[in-house]
Structure 1
Amino acid sequence: MDVTFKKKKEMMEGEVALKSRDLDESPEGFKGEIEDCTLEDKFITISPECVRCNLCVEECPVDAIEDSKLSKPARILDNCVKCEICAQTCPVSCIHVIESTSHVGADEVTYKLKDQKVPHRKLRMVKISVDPDKCDSCANCVKFCPTGAISVPEGDIAQIDKEACVGCGACANVCPEGSIELVRELGPVIKTKNLFVDQDTCVQCQVCEENCPVDAIKLDDENVVLDQEKCILCEVCSTKCPVGALKLEMM
């Protein structure tokens, strides 16, 4: 998905002026002026196609995803560190990593959104079964199964086509009686980035150590030591380093 849309610069300046007045932070007659600039960012979002499996919730290393419910999909929270593990894990590719570029020119503001390609981890069903004593034939599992592997014949319990099942776990998650038992295999996170440390540039400020969400980086004898097993290749240390000694680059 690549999307580009534009907005008149004077409209944005007017919105800035209105917002400032709402906050009582500007004198009467204030006119917002926006200088020409280009800003790049990245954000992660979950589309309505979410099948409620909650695999992303289980795999998020910083608890930055709100559980999905029958009535609503999972939701990315403000403490997301953009490690992209959720996007790699989603069995139906409904979690999108969006690269955004905003350019303010002389007369207009241009926004560009690009859906970043993310590899997917291996996922397969090992074993799945339905407890006939618990299943109440509500068919919630049928509604959310992404491959149509489940049916509920009238007057019978849920039936699962094991050849079609991918092991996402949506059925087990939405079953109100807990009647579905699943064993699945989930492969390792696929490395798509490298974190480079410039020891000569580092000023030993410890900002990286203090802000790492998984305690993967330490300052030891004036050197930055990175625990490769713990590191989730998020954007926290590289964006917070005041001297650019840490750089996160795509492979």
Structure 2
Amino acid sequence: MDVTFKKKKEVLEGEVALKSRDLEGSQEGFKGEIEDCAFADKFITISPECVRCNLCVEECPVNAISDSTSSRTAKIMDNCVKCEICAQTCPIKCIHVIESTSNIEEDVTFHLKDVKVPHRKLRMESIQVNPDTCDSCSTCVKFCPTGAITVDEGEIAQIDLDACVGCGACVNVCPQDSVNLVRELGPVIKTKELRVDEDTCVQCQVCEENCPVDAIKLDGNRVVLDQEKCILCEVCSTKCPVGALKLEMV
């Protein structure tokens, strides 16, 4: 996806003025005036094609994704740190990392771009259906992304081992917990690197205090990064007040 759209600046100013009326203590007749500026951001979203496998939920290192069920998709929550591990993990690539830019001049221009994210290895090793508990409800058939499951009337679910990718959607949605899956999930692919400028660092400890996985510590006047713990999110690099930490693509 690569989308650009525009809005008149006066329309945006009108929307700001309209919303301000709902604020306590706002003055009647307030007019919103927006100066020329530019913003850049990144967000992660899950599309409706979600197959309810909950792999993203299991792999999120900061518990920022709510569980999916047969009636609702998984959802990215406000405590997301944009590490992109979920996007690498989704077996059907329905989790999207989107870069957004907004430029306000005479018009307001919005640009959204889908970021290409590599995919971790995912492989089914073994999968079985318990014949004593499967009640032929076919819920698993509805969510299997590869069509690997069939259920004949009155029979237990049958799984095509060649078509199964080991996502675990059937395991998650089965109301009888009848599916047992063993899968192999490869390591997270490192697409970024956190660089530390020791000369710029002022030892303020903001990075240590805000790291969501305790991967960065201040040892005397040195910043020590635990490469095994670090999830290459955007927290420390965006919060560093002097720009001593930079997250760069590799």
Residue in structure 2 matched with residue 115 of structure 1 by the alignment: 114
Query: Matched residues in 2 for 1:11 and 1:24: separation?
Result: 23
Residue in structure 2 matched with residue 242 of structure 1 by the alignment: 241
Aligned length: 250
TM (norm. structure 1) is: 0.98
Matching of residue 35 in structure 1 with residue 63 in structure 2: no
Helix, strand or coil: the match of 1:172?
A: helix
Helix, strand or coil: the match of 1:15?
A: helix
Residue in structure 1 matched with residue 162 of structure 2 by the alignment: 163
Query: Matched residues in 2 for 1:79 and 1:144: separation?
Result: 28
Contact 2:203 2:218 in 1 (8 A): yes
Query: Matched residues in 1 for 2:147 and 2:199: separation?
Result: 56
Residue in structure 2 matched with residue 65 of structure 1 by the alignment: 65
Query: Matched residues in 1 for 2:29 and 2:182: separation?
Result: 65
Helix, strand or coil: the match of 2:34?
A: coil
Shift of residue 34, structure 1, vs aligned partner: 0.4
Helix, strand or coil: the match of 1:22?
A: coil
Residue in structure 2 matched with residue 181 of structure 1 by the alignment: 180
Query: Matched residues in 1 for 2:74 and 2:156: separation?
Result: 27
Query: Matched residues in 2 for 1:6 and 1:67: separation?
Result: 35
Residue in structure 2 matched with residue 14 of structure 1 by the alignment: 14
What one-letter code is carried by the residue in structure 1 that aligns with 2:204? C
Is there any run of 5+ residues in structure 2 with no aligned partner, and where?
none
* Cα displacement string for residues 103-142 of structure 1 (whole angstroms, at most 9, x for unaligned residues): 1012x10100000000000000000000000100010100
Query: Matched residues in 2 for 1:40 and 1:228: separation?
Result: 27
Residue in structure 2 matched with residue 233 of structure 1 by the alignment: 232
Query: Matched residues in 2 for 1:215 and 1:95: separation?
Result: 26
Shift of residue 29, structure 1, vs aligned partner: 2.2
What one-letter code is carried by the residue in structure 2 that aligns with 1:49? E
Helix, strand or coil: the match of 1:132?
A: coil
Residue in structure 2 matched with residue 86 of structure 1 by the alignment: 86
- Is 13-22 or 59-68 further displaced after alignment? 13-22
Is there any run of 5+ residues in structure 1 with no aligned partner, and where?
none
Residue in structure 2 matched with residue 206 of structure 1 by the alignment: 205
Residue in structure 1 matched with residue 142 of structure 2 by the alignment: 143
Residue in structure 1 matched with residue 26 of structure 2 by the alignment: 26
Query: Matched residues in 2 for 1:172 and 1:21: separation?
Result: 49
Q: Percent identity?
A: 80
TM (norm. structure 2) is: 0.99
Query: Matched residues in 2 for 1:245 and 1:21: separation?
Result: 41
* Cα displacement string for residues 42-86 of structure 1 (whole angstroms, at most 9, x for unaligned residues): 000000000000000000000000000111110000000000000
Query: Matched residues in 2 for 1:155 and 1:27: separation?
Result: 68
Shift of residue 30, structure 1, vs aligned partner: 1.8
Contact 2:69 2:172 in 1 (8 A): no
* Cα displacement string for residues 199-241 of structure 1 (whole angstroms, at most 9, x for unaligned residues): 1100110000000000000000111000000000000000000
Query: Matched residues in 1 for 2:141 and 2:21: separation?
Result: 52
